[in-house]
Amino acid sequence: MQTFMIPRTVFMSLLAGSLFGVLKCVTLMVFAATSGASSCYFLSKLIARPLINSLWPDKLVFFQNQVAKRRSGLLNYMLFLRVTPTLPNT
């Protein structure tokens, strides 16, 4: 579920906690989250990057230029991009 970014992993974590106990569940969830996030990263690097590069090369260049312009404050820029969709768009 982590690899393909399928929602409802919180409910699976709660279910695993009730079935296996807290200590086994924490170990299982840490392993599942780490391996799922790593495989999601490698999957997107191997498949999504060439696909996006072939479909929208101009958009990719635009985003690469935006990141290059903000290289010194990249952490603030990435946090802003992450938080912005949660704010109301009125």
Query: CA geometry: angle at 3 spanning 84 and 54, to 5°?
Result: 75
Q: List pLDDT tens digits, range 34-46.
A: 998 899 899 989 9
Same domain? For 65 and 88 the reply is yes
Sequence-distant (≥ 6) Cβ neighbours of residue 22 within 8 angstroms: none
Residues 50 and 66 in one domain: no
Q: How many domains does the chain have?
A: 2
Q: Determine the Cα–Cα distance for residues 81 and 84; give it in Å rounded to an integer.
A: 5
Same domain, 51 and 64: no
More confident residue, 26 or 78: 26
Do both 3 and 42 map to the same domain?
yes
pLDDT in tens, 43-84: 989 998 899 899 999 998 998 898 899 899 889 888 887 787
Q: Is there a single domain that holds both residue 21 and residue 4?
A: yes
- Report the predicted TM-score, pTM, of the whole model to 2 decimal places: 0.59
